[in-house]
A and B are shown apart, each in its own frame.
Chain A
């Protein structure tokens, strides 16, 4: 079901956690709320879920405004950051919990719980207690528990942050597979731009309780709306030119002979070998960056092999005219 946030606001006393955001998430899409900690992304998710009251504005899910409905009547289900599995219940009973609360007969609800555990490949461990499972297994059970009541919208609060990097990538793939199979809307809160890029149809970059940019990952990466987005997404240099601020992708920086007409002199201050590419840190007095952080240029390993720069080398740096992307603020 479509989700629409209309002027959604959350105030805690005098502080604004979420500042009148408007957003439309199409039915069946994978949406990531992305931002640094304290940007209001989790609060937004909890307001959609109904675990946080709305100060003003409203949440519309499908045809109806749900701003003051309890969570269970919204057609949403939430997967909590710490998974929040009931420690005194087996996996099977954990998954069947929502059905039990709805008064479904025991045999039927256990059958459905088993089926749902099968969907996340956990049927073999159905009789275990949560404490006897690894983090990844607990997460699968939490996922099954959230999905068992047939929600139209699944809300995930940093679901991958507790996993080790290897497992994180695997679970990421799995989440995407499940979302495609079930065809329901996923709203996923994360502070990892990599996760957001890999998963989402719609990336919503938030900062200070506001939405900085919402769009598909490619748009956000290629045309970041603000300096904040360009920096948070990574891979960009935010450069203050005399008349405007622009973002230039680090891999589109041109060095030496190819630098082009706008080239400026720079000194190499860092060389980081990364395997398929080499990251160069450049200090260019004419190209102002915020807080004087060095520019980054990413060269392919071949390009670097052809012209191996060293620390302290002086080099001309520039970019093709079309690569500079103008920023709003």
Chain B
């Protein structure tokens, strides 16, 4: 919302020095402040224990030294130099940049696809389904894939997409292809497909939520002003769904950026991704190197989110 409401919601400020206030009032204000901090404490503690501390530890470890058999608590920038090893050389892209590019490619394709599908589904449920009961039912159906684990949902694709899978069989028996398609499984295609399958719901939910908050009389007002359904979509519904689009985009982008399981399983362990690099380093117990990579990845994701919030002022729209 606006800063005005924030100000209204904020705690009463302690009287500035030099402005005499009734001592009772000042004490009451102080007490209220303490109470507010106390109320925020449980969440703050959980946040500190499970978010701030691990993050700081990662940051610290990323500056430590390591060799084949031990990790040495000393300060070094070598881990970061290793991450960008050869990147300044020019000519060819270094491994890190190539990996990031590949991950970014998945991000972009996955984001565009989930946004298109997510927006369409949310639009259909929010604006074309009339009864509230039906809306709830359809919305719940969207979440059904979450009743099983990620890995199982991915593995389920294998009998479909494999060389002798259902899709190849069907295409061959229809006479559309002579030889089975190899690119269906363990390829960029299958990775993107799995990302779309797993992540679209993260796009649907916030966009649907934004759409449900659009006053229906606005749609009527647009129609009354002579807007065609497409014009209403572009001039009213899309701008008012922006907060949902932004939140959904952040979900999907961060999920794909940090992913290593999907790329591993659906890429047949052959496709590089930033998350995969970190996982491999972890499995070789090269924690400082993994930590340095994680910090760089965190920076990249933060940059993406900053860019997104530049496009849409989330705080104002919420």
Residues of A within 8 A of B (CB): 49, 51, 70-72, 77-78, 80-82, 84-88, 97-98, 100-102, 131, 145-146, 149
Q: How far is the CA of A88 from the CA of B221 in the complex (A)?
A: 14
B236 and A86 within 8 A (CB):
yes
B304 interfacial by beta-carbon distance below 8 Å: no
Task: Tell whether, in the assembled complex, residue B231 and residue A101 are in contact, meaning their CB atoms are under 8 Å apart.
Answer: yes
Asked if residues B220 and A87 are in contact (CB atoms below 8 Å), the reply is no
Whether a CB of chain A sits under 8 angstroms from the CB of B23 is no
Count chain A CB atoms within 10 A of each CB in B221, B235, B236 and give the residue with the most: B221
CA distance A302 to B272 in the complex (A): 97
**Distance to closest chain B CB from A317 (angstroms):** 49
Contact residues of B between 221 and 245, Cβ < 8 Å to A:
221-228, 231, 235-236, 239-240
Determine if B224 and A101 form an interchain contact, defined as CB atoms under 8 angstroms apart. no
Are A72 and B218 neighbours in the complex by a CB distance under 8 Å?
no
B217 within 8 A of A: yes
* Contact indicator A71/B218 (Cβ below 8 Å): no
- Assess the A97–B220 pair: CB atoms within 8 A: no
- Residue total for B at the interface (Cβ-Cβ under 8 A): 18
The 9 A-B residue pairs with the shortest CB-CB distance in the complex, in nearest-first order: A72-B226, A98-B225, A84-B221, A84-B217, A101-B227, A88-B239, A101-B226, A71-B224, A78-B224
Query: How far is B225's CA from A102's CA once the two chains are assembled, in angstroms?
Result: 9
Query: How distant is the Cα of A81 from the Cα of B225 in the complex, in angstroms?
Result: 16
Shortest Cβ distance from residue A74 to the other chain B in the assembled complex, whole angstroms: 10
A84–B220 contact, CB under 8 A? yes
Docked complex Cα distance between A82 and B220 (Å): 12
Answer yes or no: B68 CB below 8 A from chain A CBs. no
B237 to chain A, nearest CB (A): 11
User: Contacts A87-B240, A97-B235 known; A51 to B218 CB distance under 8 Å?
Assistant: no
A-B pairs with beta carbons under 8 Å apart, 25 shown: A49-B224, A51-B223, A70-B223, A71-B224, A71-B226, A72-B224, A72-B225, A77-B224, A78-B221, A81-B217, A84-B217, A84-B221, A85-B221, A86-B222, A87-B218, A87-B240, A97-B225, A98-B226, A101-B222, A101-B235, A102-B226, A131-B2, A146-B224, A149-B225, A149-B226
Chain A: minimal CB distance from B112 (Å): 24
- Chain A residues within 8 Å of B215, by CB: 82, 84
Q: Which residues of B contact A51 (CB under 8 A)?
A: 220, 223-224
Q: Which residues B302-316 have CB closer than 8 A to chain A?
A: none
Residues of A within 8 A of B222 (CB): 86, 97, 101
